[in-house]
Chain A
């Protein structure tokens, strides 16, 4: 999830302080607070599930790439860095499977990509 949640929450905290002060034009206050509420709702939805999503996804991609290992450090920043590494390697593997015409491998990668977008899907997402 990018921008990272901690950075966004820090920004929203500052924004709430600003909007608690007098003199902020009403339309700007309404816009800021409405968007802040929507973002807090997204952050709340991600809070409980994010580590699980990353661990599950990292495991699935490792299996596709034939890599051993498990996530030992469960901090979100560490899981995300490993996820970035693995998904970067998956992009390369997918392109290679297309270049060699390996349709079975392409199908396996597509299946994981569909599953990944399903895991990450927000309840309010338009697709």
Chain B
């Protein structure tokens, strides 16, 4: 049975491909996950210059209420900025910010098909032989993101550029405000962590960097040889301190219980790969601050997902699971980073 979005999406794309005839969308199916955007894969077929063509594409559409509220243009432009660089990303095709075509804003992108993203599969044992290679690639790519010049990448037109000494307070203010708004029950460890972060601010950023915002195992596409073919989920991308992304990648939640950072390697190995690629230094004291901050940020996301469910804005099970599974685990992660556990 055809998905109800297929005809509407085909009509939209036909309007963007003036040289194409017979534009058709088939095999549209929703991909699991996608708590901040509804993600679908589909096959686009059309005729152009007398030749029949096909392409596998991705549709990312805003949901009624999201785990993370962000502008889809920011995500779209972030992908475009890194296209053709040392950071592998899919090609962006069309961005639609109005709601008429598919009820909510969306964008369409190339599907990088044939690779895995699942952390569970990666850490199942089947990939153990290539985990060191994936680890080096993962933090090398993150170093490349940190090294990039946001202005040269064209991103300063779409993202605020905070002063170097205000990167930390801007982010902490943002996530603390979301926790104030969304927490459904008191979070004593999170509140203690926020007090510690404010009492012990980090030094100014070494440079203004592109911050992916959700760079973790699970948000890149890998293969059995240990190569990484695509970095995904740029919806929280912004400009800030390069240590912010490194801290998110190292925060204990993303160990998936393995005891290794990102489930992949030691922290020292990850930091060494990042430093080699970025040409930057990860001062241990500053990195501790950013790792703990990212525990607070994670908590902001998990309590936000519970709030979206409780308000009725989004009743999907994906909104419940992070809240049930991760809120207490995130407090334990904070205790660990603070040396209390």
Contacts and interface: CB of A to CB of B under 8 A. Distances in A.
Interface of A: 1-3, 7-8, 11-12, 15, 23, 25-28, 30-32, 34-36, 38-39, 42, 80, 83-84, 87-88, 90-91, 94-95, 98, 109-110, 113-114, 116-117, 120-122, 124-127
Contacts of A1: 324
B286 interface: no
B186 interface: yes
A34 to B, nearest CB: 7
Given A42-B324, A42-B325, A125-B326, 6 more contacts: A3-B306, A31-B32, A95-B191, A124-B325, A127-B257, A127-B330
Contacts of B321: 35, 38-39
B242 interface: no
A83 B188 CA distance: 12
Given A3-B309, A27-B29, A30-B32, A126 B317 contact: no
Interface of B: 1, 3, 29-33, 184-189, 191-192, 195, 252-257, 306, 309-310, 315, 317-318, 320-321, 323-333, 335-336, 340-341
A6 to B, nearest CB: 12
Contacts of B184: 2-3
A87 B186 contact: yes
A84 B310 contact: no
Given A3-B306, A126-B255, A121 B332 contact: yes
A122 B328 contact: yes
B340 A110 contact: yes
Contact of A3 (B32, B255, B323): B323
A71 B192 CA distance: 27
A58 to B, nearest CB: 13
Nearest to B317: A35
B36 to A, nearest CB: 15
A127 B332 contact: yes
A3 B320 contact: yes
B303 to A, nearest CB: 8
Contacts of B191: 91, 94-95
B323 A2 contact: yes
B89 to A, nearest CB: 24
Nearest to A120: B328
Contacts of B325: 42, 122, 124-125
Across the A-B interface, the 8 shortest Cβ-Cβ residue pairs:
A31-B32, A35-B317, A87-B186, A27-B29, A2-B184, A127-B332, A125-B329, A120-B328
28 contacts: A2-B184, A11-B309, A28-B30, A30-B32, A32-B317, A35-B317, A35-B321, A38-B321, A84-B185, A91-B186, A91-B192, A94-B191, A94-B192, A95-B191, A113-B189, A114-B335, A114-B340, A117-B332, A121-B329, A122-B328, A122-B329, A125-B325, A125-B326, A125-B328, A126-B253, A126-B329, A127-B252, A127-B257
Given A3-B306, A39-B320, A42-B324, A34 B32 contact: yes
B111 to A, nearest CB: 14
A15 B332 contact: no
Nearest to A126: B257
A127 B185 contact: no
B309 A121 contact: no
B4 to A, nearest CB: 10
Contacts of B306: 2-3
Given A2-B184, A113-B188, A127 B329 contact: yes
Contacts of A23: 1
B268 to A, nearest CB: 20
A7 B309 CA distance: 10
Contact of B188 (A25, A31, A87): A87
A88 B332 contact: no
A26 B29 contact: yes
Contacts of B318: 35
A126 B256 contact: yes
Nearest to A32: B317
A2 B335 contact: no
B73 to A, nearest CB: 27
